[in-house]
A and B are shown apart, each in its own frame.
Chain A
Amino acid sequence: MVSAMHMSDGLVNAPTSLLFGAIAIVGMALCLWRARTDLDDRTAPMAGLVTAFVFAVQMINFPILPGASGHLLGGALVAILVGPYVGAVCIGIVLLVQALLFADGGLTALGMNVTNMALIGTFVGYGVAVLLRGLARRGRGGLLVVAFTAAFANTVVASLGFVLEYAIGGAGGASLGTVFTLMVGLHALIGIGEGVITAATVGAVAAVRPDLVHLLRGTGPTLVRKEATA
């Protein structure tokens, strides 16, 4: 059995859920708007497949400690492959389908799950990847290191999203200090798994279709041609 993977309803009070619901709606709308410039006849099917792939891999909980597991969040993975705006929409779609069809992640918690994983996770992953882009362009080893690092960062920072939401309107049951320590500690371990999966996936795509890796674009003739037709 695949265990529930995202925030349930009731962990945070209603005003906080509403606040993050609004943040998620505005963020997703902006991403949908900006995504259009990154989507063409080649990248649109890629984005659809990447979304399905993230849904599939999120089902695979891997053990991190006795009695505890983790799973891919996918922010850096999608950001590197299809860019941050399209990528955030990819994760948003995954979370929506999981909440509506699979009873995974509460409906009132959807705004927080989207904020943490689709917005924070994707943009942190992208930010780290862009900072290290020079290394990623240097070759296969560099790209794998960048993918791993971006994914590790996206996991740990996304987990801080929950700490923030709990700090603002947590329902109680644990002290904020305990929540912070446990969330960051566990997600540092999960981040290693996230890094390995992300590096393996990005490496595999780059090996057969480097032109489909968003992070590597903007070098060589591809960019010149694109800009000429834009």
Chain B
Amino acid sequence: MRRFWIGFALVALLVAGGLSYFASPDPDGLDTVALNGCTETDAGLQGTCIAQHATEHHTSASPLADYSVFGGHGTVGPAGIIGVLVVLVLAGGLFRLLRRRAPRG
């Protein structure tokens, strides 16, 4: 059992910490739709599209904003590993608290 848990956690860490460097930088499906009708220029978005209504993110000053560590170039891996660990602690803790305890004795 323990080997399965460790293996699963290692896969998540490898994906977030290593494979993330090979992720496509192109906009995802939703962003592609939001950007449809605009071209991105140095002066901002030109044309008419949904994304022009997007506002600055409230947590854009977060040290992990945009999957980087303090905005550092090439820090997606460490940012991903921190994210996996944070999620593991949060989700693991919550589900542990919620679980039905096995009856004693």
Chain A residues at the B interface, C-beta cutoff of 8 Å: 1-11, 32, 35-37, 39-45, 47-49, 51-53, 55-57, 59-64, 67-71, 86, 89-90, 93-94, 97, 99-104, 106-107, 159, 162, 166, 170-174, 178-179, 182-183, 186-187, 189-190, 208-209, 212, 229
Contacts and interface: CB of A to CB of B under 8 A. Distances in A.
Contacts, number: 253
23 contacts: A2-B25, A3-B28, A5-B30, A9-B57, A10-B53, A10-B55, A41-B101, A44-B92, A52-B85, A55-B87, A56-B12, A57-B15, A63-B24, A68-B28, A69-B23, A71-B28, A97-B87, A101-B62, A102-B66, A106-B58, A173-B37, A174-B50, A183-B33
Contacts of B13: 56
B52 interface: yes
B19 A52 contact: no
A59 B80 contact: yes
B98 A44 contact: yes
Given A3-B26, A9-B54, A103 B62 contact: yes
B32 A186 contact: yes
B100 A8 contact: no
Given A159-B29, A186-B33, A43 B8 contact: no
Q: 3 shortest A-B CB distances, which residue pairs?
A: A48-B92, A51-B91, A171-B53
A220 B64 CA distance: 46
Nearest to A173: B50
A1 B87 contact: no
By size class, the interface of chain B is: 35 or more
B83 to A, nearest CB: 6
A8 B28 contact: no
B105 interface: no
Contact of A178 (B16, B25, B27, B36): B36
Contact of A48 (B15, B19, B88): B88
B37 A53 contact: no
A85 to B, nearest CB: 10
A198 B20 CA distance: 18
A9 B99 contact: no
A12 B5 CA distance: 40
B94 A61 contact: no
Nearest to B61: A103
Contacts of A209: 4
B30 A69 contact: no
Nearest to B97: A44
B4 A39 contact: no
Contacts of B98: 32, 35-36, 39, 44
A36 B88 CA distance: 18
Contacts of A57: 12, 15
